Structure 1
Amino acid sequence: MRQDFLFTSESVSEGHPDKVADQISDAVVDLFLSKDPQARIACETLTTTQLVVLAGEIRCKGVYEDGKWAEGAEAEIEKTVRETVKRIGYEQDGFHWQTFKFLNNLHAQSAHIAQGVDESGNKDEGAGDQGIMFGYATDETPDYLPATLYYSHRILERMAEDRHSKAVPFLEPDAKSQVTLQYENGVPVRATALVVSTQHAPGYFDDGSEGSDAARYKQLRDYVVGVFNDVLPQGFISDATAIYVNPTGKFEIGGPDGDAGLTGRKIIVDTYGGASPHGGGAFSGKDPTKVDRSAAYIARYMAKNIVAAGLAKRCTIQLSYAIGIAEPLSLYVDTHGTGTVDEAKIEQVLPTLVRLTPKGIREHLQLNKPIYQRTASYGHFGREPDGDFFSWEKTDLVEKLKAAL
């Protein structure tokens, strides 16, 4: 394992067009699960200039049964979508929560998928699809996330708080961040480059054109640099740190008006910032029978508890599934040379502590609840457990792991 290197991760704000799509998809998931905990949802969202389109397959008692919508159900979906966009903060000519065109193309789940997934007779509930899922944890930060991703998220969360509170009048919803850290002896010690590109109100960029205002751009830049200094540890930023604020120039046209957004295009932002492998499946818009989501959550849960138990400084876990089959096809543990226990022994113990079938995962983490919209911005992992929310971030497996290993 390398000890001295540079590493970079990025994050995007809740107003990024792809994240708008993710939040809409998960708002639909939450709506359906609030009506029927056994609902099946695969909801994809497209956003662009003054347009939101839903597509996918669903099944939900009291909402959509036998190929028909219940009375008022479509109107409730549209209301949910518009309220999601309003909460994010889009009231712009090119994308406004009240006036965008809305198209709902959700339809019935395939009967051929349902027959493999549903529990029946002596048949356990099967996985909703084939695939591989990864979980990862590191002791670099208190949230067991890679430091580069942790700080990328925190920068944008702070900016969103300031925007929503109106403490900063020139911020608009769309933004991206990027953090590059120098690691020495495997530990992050300084920032070598920090980047933020943020949508802003008109007049906050000096590009040399008539009416541009260097003083107002300085106000924007000084604000962002202040956020960097507040979020990163003391001493991480120095005169040698390369700082870029809106390096391409003006960023007044943003969000879905500036670029189309699609559900599931920010899977590295959603997970570990590139520090871990990714199986390729997105999370948002999927009910927890889809192992792309639920198995990735349980893999994170197991990896985090292994690191929290002091059994390793870093841990990667892979699970694999086949559609319609309940038990995972494989379980792989890698502690990257930092472990105090043989990985093969950990692989033997984990299935005795957590049932790794789709149903077992959902029951262990209590996933059949409307808890998903909050996951769709600033990462699915490294979040504080809060009642039913982010149950996969709990460290309640630590003592059982210590006792078994």
Structure 2
Amino acid sequence: MPRSNYLFTSESVSEGHPDKVCDRISDTVVDAYLAVMPEARLGVETLATTNRIVIAGEVRGPDSVTFKDLEELTRAAVKDIGYEQAGFHWKNNDVAIHLHAQSADIAVGVDAAGNKDEGAGDQGIMFGYATDETPALMPAPIYYAHKILKDLADARKGKHGAAAKLGPDAKSQVTVRYADGRPVEATQIVLSTQHLDESLDSGAVREIVEPYIRAALPESWVTDQTVWHVNPTGKFVIGGPDGDCGLTGRKIIVDTYGGAAPHGGGAFSGKDPTKVDRSAAYAARYLAKNVVAAGLARKATIQLAYAIGVAKPLSIYVDLHGTGEVDEAKLESVLGQLVDLSPRGIRTHLGLNKPIYARTSAYGHFGREPDADGGFSWERTDLIGQLKSALA
């Protein structure tokens, strides 16, 4: 029997967090290649530390994308995030690029040939999740933790009043109280943000951020009993990769559902959409969101499993958490019929062979609005009618 009264906490980190800087750079490289060659293959990792960025990995793509191009794009990404500090500056960072050709052994297993369809780029399990507790059909704790940081970043970059004193590096954490299974209030709010004015203390930072936090949360959620922790360690001037080394792919729970749903373990950023770590996780979210949006359940978890070089998923699993209006086994069968869940089928259905990934690198891959150019296509709810007809 699922619990109905409890506290649940999720965290988010801003685009200036050291790991998110690396995710942004890795996805910027992915976009650069896909913009020229939609079928490019990439596995790109980035490390960032004091005044140094190292990009490494495997690529199969056009020679017209040069290392000089990638260095310029990297500096532009760091500039857009907002780093112009002595220990990490978009103009002065040393950028080292170590990209080499993709393994021929992997290519043989993954590429289509003769009667063999394109196979998955790796083995693994991927999960998608949706819940009706927020308008975006996302869990409330991670949804609002993201929103707090996104709103603060927009204010900082727009130089809105005192928010201009904040730096790019920040973390948020929201503890939500659930009553009868529904989110009703924030019991604890944690916000740590870099600030450029060294004279600011925790109290002064709270004065800057509190209006944005209150505006981001539902009106009744902040009460006299809500506990605030704003810059609890005090001064936070040295931020980003100068304060802590960053790596691609270390914020996979932040990227997904904040711990409210399972995670297959694979990171997203730096991978082209033939990699099912990324594309199948997007497909699973797409399916789960459409199930909930169609009113077939209040919550849905969907697992997909793949083997390297094999086109079709090994299994499709659906859990409606006791909230379903349909048989889960039948739904598993219907989902596999409505959407081709092979790597090529997913990319075609969701239009993933496009330069749409740098924008996913912060504030969550899920719960975002679909973009006109195909970004966040997995957030569409265009499967509702087909689902209802197939299950009627």
Scaled by the length of structure 2, what TM-score is found? 0.97
- The sequence identity of aligned pairs, in percent, is 64
Give the one of 149, 153, 160 matched to 1:156.
149
Equivalent AA in structure 1 for residue 286 of structure 2: Y
**How far apart are the structure 1 equivalents of 2:385 and 2:26?**
36
Deviation at 1:147, TM superposition (A): 0.4
Structure 2 equivalent of residue 66 of structure 1 = none
Structure 1 equivalent of residue 210 of structure 2 = 225
Matched, 1:403 2:389: yes
Matched, 1:143 2:129: no
SS for the counterpart of 1:169 is helix
- Post-superposition Cα deviations, 1:28-58, rounded to whole Å, max 9, x if no partner, equal 0000001101100000000000000011100
Deviation at 1:344, TM superposition (A): 0.2
Equivalent AA in structure 1 for residue 49 of structure 2: T
Matched, 1:96 2:89: yes
Deviation at 1:229, TM superposition (A): 1.2
**How far apart are the structure 2 equivalents of 1:46 and 1:204?**
31
- Post-superposition Cα deviations, 1:338-385, rounded to whole Å, max 9, x if no partner, equal 000010000010111000100000000000000000000100000001
- Post-superposition Cα deviations, 1:5-48, rounded to whole Å, max 9, x if no partner, equal 00000000000000000000000000000110110000000000
1:379-390 equivalence runs, <5 A: 379-387=364-372, 388-390=374-376
Deviation at 1:180, TM superposition (A): 0.1
Q: Is the 8 A contact 2:255 2:363 kept in 1?
A: yes
**How far apart are the structure 2 equivalents of 1:8 and 1:148?**
6
SS for the counterpart of 2:308 is coil
**How far apart are the structure 1 equivalents of 2:4 and 2:203?**
38
Structure 1 equivalent of residue 6 of structure 2 = 5
Matched, 1:173 2:189: no
SS for the counterpart of 2:128 is strand
**How far apart are the structure 2 equivalents of 1:54 and 1:307?**
39
Matched, 1:341 2:326: yes
Structure 1 equivalent of residue 178 of structure 2 = 183
Deviation at 1:202, TM superposition (A): 3.1
Deviation at 1:309, TM superposition (A): 0.2
Q: Is the 8 A contact 2:24 2:362 kept in 1?
A: yes
1:239-388 equivalence runs, <5 A: 239-387=224-372, 388=374
Deviation at 1:203, TM superposition (A): 2.7
Equivalent AA in structure 2 for residue 109 of structure 1: Q
Aligned residue pair count: 387
- Post-superposition Cα deviations, 1:280-302, rounded to whole Å, max 9, x if no partner, equal 00000000000000000000000
Matched, 1:194 2:189: yes
- Post-superposition Cα deviations, 1:245-267, rounded to whole Å, max 9, x if no partner, equal 00011100000000001000000
Matched, 1:38 2:39: yes
**How far apart are the structure 2 equivalents of 1:97 and 1:224?**
26
Deviation at 1:169, TM superposition (A): 2.4
**How far apart are the structure 2 equivalents of 1:229 and 1:111?**
53
**How far apart are the structure 2 equivalents of 1:296 and 1:44?**
19
Deviation at 1:219, TM superposition (A): 3.2
Equivalent AA in structure 2 for residue 146 of structure 1: P
Scaled by the length of structure 1, what TM-score is found? 0.94
Structure 1 equivalent of residue 109 of structure 2 = 116
**How far apart are the structure 1 equivalents of 2:280 and 2:175?**
30
Equivalent AA in structure 2 for residue 391 of structure 1: S
Q: Is the 8 A contact 1:204 1:220 kept in 2?
A: no
**How far apart are the structure 2 equivalents of 1:313 and 1:114?**
41
**How far apart are the structure 1 equivalents of 2:371 and 2:282?**
15
Equivalent AA in structure 2 for residue 280 of structure 1: G
Equivalent AA in structure 1 for residue 185 of structure 2: R
For structure 1, which runs of at least 5 residues remain unmatched after alignment?
A: 64-69, 207-216
Matched, 1:130 2:123: yes
Equivalent AA in structure 2 for residue 404 of structure 1: A
SS for the counterpart of 1:218 is helix
Equivalent AA in structure 1 for residue 71 of structure 2: E
**How far apart are the structure 2 equivalents of 1:204 and 1:284?**
36
For structure 2, which runs of at least 5 residues remain unmatched after alignment?
A: none
**How far apart are the structure 2 equivalents of 1:98 and 1:92?**
10
- Post-superposition Cα deviations, 1:208-252, rounded to whole Å, max 9, x if no partner, equal xxxxxxxxx533211222122111111111111110100011100
**How far apart are the structure 2 equivalents of 1:166 and 1:148?**
27
